[in-house]
A and B are shown apart, each in its own frame.
Chain A
Amino acid sequence: MDSNPKENIIEEVTNKDYEFGFVTDIETDFIPKGLNEDIIRLISKKKEEPEWLLEFRLKAFRHWLTLKMPTWAHLTIPPIDFQDIIYYAAPKQRKEKKSLDEVDPELLATFDKLGISLDEQKKLSGVAVDAVMDSTSVKTTFQETLSKHGIIFMSFSEAVKQHPELVKKYLGKVVPYTDNFFAALNSAVFSDGSFCYVPKGVRCPIELSTYFRINAANTGQFERTLIVADEGAYVSYMEGCTAPQRDENQLHAAIVEIISEKDAEVKYSTVQNWYPGDKDGKGGIYNFVTKRGICRGDNAKISWTQVETGSAITWKYPSCILKGDNTVAEFYSVAVTNNYQQADTGTKMIHIGKNSRSTIISKGISAGHSQNGYRGLVKVVPEATNCRNFSQCDSLLLGDQCGAHTWPYVECGNDSSILEHEATTSKISEDQLFYCNQRGIPTEKAIGLIVNGYAKDVLNKLPMEFAVEAQKLLSITLEGSVG
């Protein structure tokens, strides 16, 4: 239909600017481009790291040299020149910052603009934030409140200095540097991230969160997050991220490791909103992330909730190893792709403990010319008797130029376990849109409403602080995507 009034709306909205695309003008400390052992030594030196950590980095780097980029994902990845990337960039600021007043006002303003207030007085009292820009942490709030409970929540670099024994004990235990190409790269050059340790029997009274911001051009971001919930502990952690709008692609290769000990529980929520590129697919972040948790002791629990709306390319499979008996793992995901975005995302649930249970709810939404894939593995080893898995993978298509794909892998090693898989593919119907229109709701808003309804099961799992943001984000990402 050539006189379709919706066409104009599509034009309007796909031209709409990415809300977080601004650049902060701040003096930045860069190291030279390229990747070799000297660069790694330089990063380690800048961070004043102990010898063992430098060794860890170098081992990872030497291993990385033997690897090739994986090609099995349903992604078209242009060649990446790893020598053309700056591996460390940090906003310059005073060495010792004892209070908020000492953080560069420009940085505070940046985070304010992103809706992340680092002023404890002004902030919602329910969330402690670690703000990371490029390769370093700017500030971590509420540290005093947390330390009263014996909870450690600080930037990774800080943790290496203050709690080396803990970092050494857990680093690389869930995602070894040999795990994959990007994990090896991250292990060699990782800059900052968050470290969290909740001691035995402690229930963390507030939400913890890290906000990652890429600012500098031509740099990669390689953060590393390590969360440990000791026996009987509980913590809910949220992660958010944005980046400036640029024509060239930028690389982001992170690692997140979660350890949930006996009777402990970790809830991990992400709203991923890296710059997705423009409507013609120019620019955007390449997001290659390895996230994995282990339910190490009996009755341990881990849940991943992710809302993925950003990045030009996403390669990400937050997974769980259910090692202890009676452990529980959950994966709730909404992945939205529009324009020329590509996502290959999903999870792995590895059942090793008896009576372990896992749930997978994945909601893919594809629009424009995008490709959106779910890739998941449910594996039950022969010894893991009486396990349960329920997987539900739904795809929603908006328009006829996009693709939705599902690759579920199932390996069940015994007869007593029950694995269920459900999958659907649907479209937003003309009937639904007209029904909304007839009630005075414009098509744009109607799509937002319907998509949020479709993703409800997952959005409900997000902490309150995130849910509202995520709902808005879904609507914005998809505006103008039905023609």
Chain B
Amino acid sequence: MLLNIKNLHVSIGGKEILKGFNLGVNEGEIHAIMGPNGTGKSTWAAAVTGREGYDITEGEIWYKGQNIVGMPPEERANLGIFLSFQYPVEIPGVSMQNFMRTAVNAKREYQGLPPMSMIDFTKMMKQKQAMVEITEKLQNRYVNVGFSGGEKKKNEIFQMAMLEPELSILDETDSGLDIDALRIVANGVNQLHNEHNAFVVITHYQRLLDYIVPDFVHVMYDGRIVKSGDKKLALELEEKGYEWVKELKL
């Protein structure tokens, strides 16, 4: 199993948000986590990627055979965990080329590989950009500065393509996307998906799941998964609304 989360409890500033979360993800699978606002979906993503301030009070996160609780975020990233951010942050003055080169070479260093040559890197950037249909010159633009909502999300998938993670978490990647951008983003994910990697897609709406078809759908409420099923569950949820989830909880 690629990722196995057991009885995870997470608090922020003493307030418990995740209350016994369990999830297993195998290579090759696509999982969707759905649920109303404030149920802890983004908290879960932050806890798995190791964000500071998210205190794990109980439980284990097993990834590639080791419990990664307490591991610094950059190490988790270098082990192949990737988060596509809901709100990608701007870094003024830092070009995408410089940023990605630093990231790619940090991972290579972690793996004991020499830095990638500039020629190979430029080639790789071009190729991956095409995958998410970014046609404009990306390399000299500053990280997310002046990007439209759609561009920011495409840029996240582009970075995912560059770093070739085994576990990708997409946090509300569909929010604020028009249908064309949504299609491009989903298309990128589908191209990257293979039997060796896995995706966990956090979303509010069933819409994204028409494009990225999940093997499993989990419904989250009040800090834990209350129902799991296949993609039909997403449709059922869409139809019955989140009020239905609250009933499930009881």
Whether B88 is near chain A, meaning CB under 8 Å from some CB there, is yes
**Residues from chain B with Cβ under 8 Å of A440 in the complex:** 74, 77-78, 103, 106-107, 110, 163
With contact pairs A445-B106, A449-B94 given, residues A437 and B74 touching in the complex (Cβ less than 8 Å)? yes
Is B51 in the interface zone, CB < 8 Å from A?
yes
Complex: chain B residue closest to A426, CB-CB? B92
Contact pick for B93, options A4, A436, A441, A452, CB 8 Å: A452
B142 / chain A contacts, CB cutoff of 8 Å: 453
B72 and A455 within 8 A (CB): no
A456 at the interface (CB under 8 A from B): yes
Stretch in A19-27, A114-122, A427-435 touching the partner: A427-435
In the complex, whether A466 has a CB less than 8 A from a CB of chain B is no
A-B contact count (CB 8 A): 75
- Asked if A76 is at the interface of the complex by the 8 Å CB criterion, the answer is no
A13 at the interface (CB under 8 A from B): no
Q: Determine how close the nearest CB of chain B comes to the CB of A459; give it in whole angstroms.
A: 9
Q: Is the CB of A430 within 8 A of B94?
A: no
**How far apart are the CA atoms of A456 and B92 in the complex, in Å?**
9
**Please, which residue of chain B has its CB at the minimum distance from the CB of A448?**
B102
Q: Give the total of B residues in contact with A, Cβ under 8 Å.
A: 29
Distance between Cα atoms of A96 and B159 in the complex (Å): 61
Q: Give the docked Cα–Cα distance between A335 and B82 (Å).
A: 36
- Interface presence of B206 (CB below 8 A): no
| A449 touching B73, Cβ below 8 Å | no
Most B Cβ at <10 Å: residue of A1, A5, A437, A443: A437
B51 x A435 contact (CB < 8 A): no
**Best-surrounded residue of B72, B73, B83, B106 (most CB of chain A within 10 A):** B73
Indicate whether A125 reaches chain B with its CB closer than 8 angstroms.
Answer: no
Known A-B contacts A431-B89, A437-B77; A453 and B110 likewise in contact (beta carbons under 8 Å): no
Whether B74 pairs with A454 at a CB distance below 8 angstroms is no
Interface residues of B in 146-191 (CB under 8 A from A): 159, 163
Which residues of A come within 8 Å of B, CB atoms?
1, 4-5, 429-432, 434-443, 445, 449-450, 452-457
Can you sample 28 A-B contacts with CB below 8 Å?
A1-B52, A4-B52, A430-B52, A431-B89, A432-B89, A434-B52, A435-B88, A435-B89, A438-B74, A439-B77, A439-B99, A440-B74, A440-B106, A440-B107, A440-B163, A441-B74, A441-B102, A441-B106, A442-B74, A442-B106, A445-B102, A445-B106, A449-B99, A452-B93, A453-B142, A454-B93, A456-B92, A456-B93
